[in-house]
Amino acid sequence: MPEQPKSKKLKREISSSYTNYSIAKGDEIVTLTKTPNSSEFFKDFIAPRKPVKLSLTETIIPLDKFTIDNLESTLDYHHDLQIEKKYQSGFGSGQKRVKFGLEKLIKEVKSGNDEFYLTTQYDFDDPDAVVVEEDEDEEEEQFQEEADDDDDDEEEEGITQGFSDNFSETSSIDFNNLRDDFEEEEDEEDISDPILDSELNLTKSEALVRLKDLYQSPLTNLIRAPEILPMIPSFFDKLIPQQINLWMGSSNKSSQQFVIDESDKTGLGLGKQLPGKLNGSSSGLHHDHADNLYVVVQGRKRFTLYSPADAFKLYTVGTIYRLFNSGIIDYEIDRQAPHWKHIRDDGAIVEEIIRWKLDKLTDKDSKEKSKLLKQLQWEIKQRNEMKGIKNDLDPPNFSRVPPSMLHLDEIENKEIRSKVEQFANSVFPGVLNLTSFKVWLEPGDMLYLPAGWFHEVSSFGDENNLGHIALNYWFIPPNTDSDNDCYSDSYWREDWEKTRRSLELIQNGKIELD
C-alpha cells in the first residue's frame, strides 16, 4: 500500500484548512451559457474555488484560427518545441522530452500518431534538468556566511537574489521555477542588455523572458494580435495573468484493447491506459498550482475532477506539507520531491517572498532583517539536505491512482473490471468512494478550474480529425475574497507591473522578439 506518512489526526487538521467548495453527493457542475461580468464570476466561482463549465454563445477566441489546418499560418512559428512522448499509455509523467518544429508536429497529429503531445514549454536548453547549478551553490554559501554574522550588520549584497533552478515540478505551470531567470545585475549596466525602465530596473533580457513566459511557444508571435488571442478574458480581470499555453496531440486510428498484467503486483500493468470504446490519451490524475481557464479548440476533452479537500485520499506522489484554503497544496522537501521549494497560499515561492521582503528593509530594520535571514536559512537548509538526490517518480502533484480506476464503468470485460476494482480497494482504499465531476468539453467549451483541484484529462479526436487542440490561461490564484484586490500583499502586483511594462514596450516597438 502506498505510504501516506501523515497521521490520521494530522490529515484531518490539514484537510480542514480547506473550507471552500467541495463536491457533495448529487452535485452537478454549473454550466454558464452567457458571458458573466467579472465581479459576478469572481463572487460565484473564483472566490469560493468552484469549477464551472462555460458554453458561451460567443467564444473568447476565433476557434478556426487554431484548428489543425490553420494553426501553422496563424502562429507563424519556426523554432523547435519541447514535445512530450507517450509513456505508459499517457502523458504528464515528467519523462524526457524531444525537440522538433511545429510543422513536423502538425504532420504527426494529422497522421494520427498519438505518441507526441505539445504541453507547457519549460527551460528550453535543458527542460528536464534537476541538477542544482554551481552559481546557486556559491550564492547559498555567501548567504550562509551572512546569516551566521547578521548581528554584525554586514552588507546583504547578493542575498536577495533569485537562485537558478531549472527543475520542473508540475505537469503544467511551474511555480517552483518562476522568476529565477530575472536576477538583477548590481554592477554597471551591461551595454548588451540595456535597462529599459529604470524605475522598475527592467532590462531588455528580462522583458523578453517575461513576454515569452507569458505567451508560451509557439504562441509568442501573437503578443501583438489580441484580436486573435486576448491576453485576459474579460471575466478574469480580477486575477493576475501568468501564462498562456497551447496543447496539441492526436488519437490513434486503431482502437487499443484494455489489458492488465497480474504479474505486476504494484500497478497491475495499468499505466495510464484508458478503457472504453473511444480511443484517447490520459494526462494522469494531478493538480496544479495556478487557476486555469481551459479552452477546447478541436476534438473532445473529458475532465474528471476531485476537490482539494480529498487530497489525502488521492495518494499523491509527494508528501503533503500543507493544504491552503485557496486550494494550493504545498509539499514536503523529501525523497519524493527533493528539489521542491515551499510555496504559500497564492503559489509564491517562500524563499522569493523572504528575499522580496529583505529588499524592502532599511538599515533601521535590523531585528526584522535577522528574523527573515533565519527563515531563509531554514528554507535553504531543507533543500541542501536533499542535494544530490534523484528519483524516477512522477512530480509530487501527481496521484498514484491509475486513470482507469476513475473510469471503471467503461471496462467492458467484467472479469478484468472486477480485478481492477479489487486492486483499487486493496492498494488505494477509499478512492472509489470519492465524489467527482465528469465534465465533457466540445470545441468552444471552456472549463474554469481553481488551483489545487485534482483532474484527469482524457483527450479524444472527432469523427473528421484525429487531432485534439486546446488553449489554456493560467492565473495567479487569489488568497483573499476581495474582488477589489484579491491578493494579500503587493508581491504579484509588483511582478505583474514588470510584465505589463514589457508588453507596453513591445507593442510600442521599443523591443523586438528574437
Q: What is the average pLDDT across 127-131?
A: 40
**Interatomic CA distance for residues 326 and 477, integer angstroms:** 7
Q: Name every residue whose Cβ is closer than 8 Å to that of residue 297 and which is 6 or more positions away in sequence.
A: 61, 63, 66, 67, 443, 469, 470, 471
Q: Note whether 239 and 292 are within 8 A (CB).
A: no
Q: pTM score, two decimals?
A: 0.88
Query: Which percentage of the chain shows pLDDT scores above 90?
Result: 70
Q: Check pLDDT > 70 for residue 60.
A: yes
> Higher model confidence: residue 93 or residue 292?
292
CATH no. for 8-131+166-339+386-507: 2.60.120.10
User: What is the average per-residue pLDDT within 388-407?
Assistant: 92
Q: According to the model, what pLDDT value does residue 221 have?
A: 96
> Do the Cβ atoms of 301 and 438 come closer than 8 Å?
no
pLDDT at 149: 55
Mean pLDDT of 160-178: 39
Mean pLDDT value across residues 67-78: 97
pLDDT for 13 equals 61
Compute the average pLDDT of residues 362-375.
Answer: 93
pLDDT band at 128 (very low <50, low <70, confident <90, very high): very low
The confidence score (pLDDT) of residue 279 equals: 84
Nearest CA among 352, 337, 311, 444 for reference residue 14: 311
Q: Is 414 helix (H, G, I), strand (E, B) or coil?
A: helix
Whole-number mean pLDDT of the chain? 86
Range of 3-12, 159-168, 184-193, 312-321 with top mean pLDDT: 312-321
Q: For residue 276, what pLDDT is reported?
A: 87
Half-sphere exposure of 164 (CA within 13 A, CB side): 15
* 19 confidence band (pLDDT: 50, 70, 90): very high
Mean pLDDT lowest among 28-42, 123-137, 420-434, 441-455: 123-137
Give the pLDDT mean for 284-294: 98
* Residue pLDDT, tens place only, 231-267: 999 999 999 999 999 999 998 766 678 999 999 988 9
Q: Tell me if residue 457 falls in helix, strand or coil.
A: strand
Rounded Cα distance between 200 and 267, Å, is 52
Residue 184 has pLDDT above 60, yes or no: no
Residue 393: predicted pLDDT: 84
Average pLDDT of the segment spanning 505-512:
94
For residues 444 and 298, what is the distance between their CA atoms, to the nearest angstrom?
Answer: 8
Whether pLDDT at 134 is above 90: no
Q: What is the pLDDT of residues 420-452, one digit of tens each?
A: 999 999 999 999 999 999 999 999 999 999 999
What is the domain partition of the chain in residue ranges?
A: 8-131+166-339+386-507
pLDDT for 312-328, tens place per residue?
A: 999 999 999 999 999 99
* Predicted confidence (pLDDT) at residue 81 exceeds the cutoff of 90: yes
Query: Could you say which DSSP state residue 44 is in?
Result: I
Lowest average pLDDT, out of 181-190, 314-323, 452-461, goes to 181-190
